[in-house]
Chain A
């Protein structure tokens, strides 16, 4: 490690759980973040700051003024710019030593496996159920660990899938019927909830890479900002899970129709 790198990462290198070895692992690691929005923004910032050597960021959308209340990686003068470009610029300025890979596209059943296969850890920061389930399914098929998260109004949830452990479908076998669960654009979201949950996702990636502490695997962390309560709920791998259970019914990736009311 160079001298300036030792200085840049000194506050985490002095942690006994990270140390020089952990920092080397971070610099050699790669994380893919799906969505440069409310969850992706803090996750991307912290991963880039921590020195994750290669970070992929995918988003198909352009920055809108209504994003700025929570998507803190985008600034007022980015309005109209592609989110993947806007995120790339901020991350490059924050840490020019790491490699940032931009994907200006919508993740779908055709492209996801090719994109995520070369990353060590995946972060789900997308805003719709079809893509959340797609990320789960692709990660399960490719034996990739990933962090799921969802946020709504004043609350959020997150859990980590480790190959062999419980997956998102063990908890939620299928997406809810379209229109039954509102999106953030319909129901609202308070910005710092995205910050809290997206930061936990970055922590999970860092913990996974440096083999530190206990991951949120087989556990769902829920956060209610109104009562200031965090809870973790044990999640068992489900033998009847449609994708990782004993008799899986899902054997290939499929695109699901996006609800039209989204964003």
Chain B
């Protein structure tokens, strides 16, 4: 399945994939570490499990960055 992840086209071997499975594949160890946009809309953390990705979906992982000094 072809997905666009953080602006880059990627082929994911699986055809049926939940958002939380993608996070695991992408090495995001805790879902609370990122905010996820699916096709431009933010997805609530408790929906990661049930959200099934489709061909050509656009996924953005926004990482928390707390540094400044």
B65 with A180: CB separation less than 8 A? no
A-side contacts of B60, CB under 8 Å: 233
Contact status A150-B64, CB under 8 Å: yes
Q: Which residues from 171 to 187 on chain A have a C-beta closer than 8 Å to any C-beta of chain B?
A: 171-173, 176-177, 180-181, 183-184, 187
For the complex, give the distance between the alpha carbons of A177 and B68 in Å.
18
Q: 8 Å CB contacts to A: which residues of B47-69?
A: 60, 62-69
Given A172-B62, A180-B30, A127:B67 Cβ within 8 A: yes
| Binding-face segment, A13-21, A34-42, A48-56, A114-122 | A34-42
Q: Name the distance in Å between A145's Cβ and chain B's nearest Cβ.
A: 18
Chain B residue numbers with a CB within 8 Å of A127 are 66-69
**Interface of chain A residues 200 through 234 with chain B (CB within 8 A):** 220, 231, 233-234
> Which of B7, B41, B69 has a CB less than 8 Å from the CB of A67?
B69
**Beta-carbon contact of B69 and A184 below 8 Å:** yes
Q: How large is the interface on A (under 10, 10 to 19, 20 to 34, 35 or more residues)?
A: 35 or more
- Report the interface size class on chain B: 20 to 34
A38 to B30, CA, bound (A): 28
**Inter-subunit contact A238/B42 (CB<8 Å):** yes
B66, A129: Cβ atoms closer than 8 Å: yes
- Chain B positions within 8 Å of A194 at CB level: 68
Does chain B have a CB within 8 A of A236?
Answer: yes
Proximity string of chain B (30-56) to chain A, C-beta cutoff 8 Å, 1 when within and 0 when not: 101101010011101000000000000
A132 touches B66 (CB 8 A): yes
Structural contact, A181 and B66, CB atoms closer than 8 A? yes
Per the 8 Å Cβ criterion, residues 147-202 of A in contact with B are 149-152, 155-157, 170-173, 176-177, 180-181, 183-184, 187, 189, 194
Which residues of B (6-43) have their CB < 8 Å from a CB of A?
6-7, 30, 32-33, 35, 37, 40-42
Give chain A residues whose Cβ lies under 8 Å from the Cβ of B32: 176-177, 180
Whether B68 contacts A126 by the Cβ 8 Å rule is yes
B69→A152 contact, CB < 8 A: no
Q: What's the least CB distance linking B12 to chain A, in Å?
A: 20
B66 with A124: CB separation less than 8 A: no
Q: State A23–B42 Cα separation when bound (angstroms).
A: 39
Task: Return 18 A-B CB contacts under 8 Å, by A number.
Answer: A39-B68, A39-B69, A40-B69, A126-B69, A127-B66, A129-B66, A151-B68, A152-B63, A155-B63, A157-B65, A170-B42, A176-B64, A180-B32, A181-B63, A181-B65, A184-B68, A231-B7, A236-B40
Listed from nearest, the 8 A-B pairs whose CB atoms lie closest are A37-B69, A150-B65, A184-B67, A127-B69, A127-B68, A151-B67, A181-B64, A39-B68
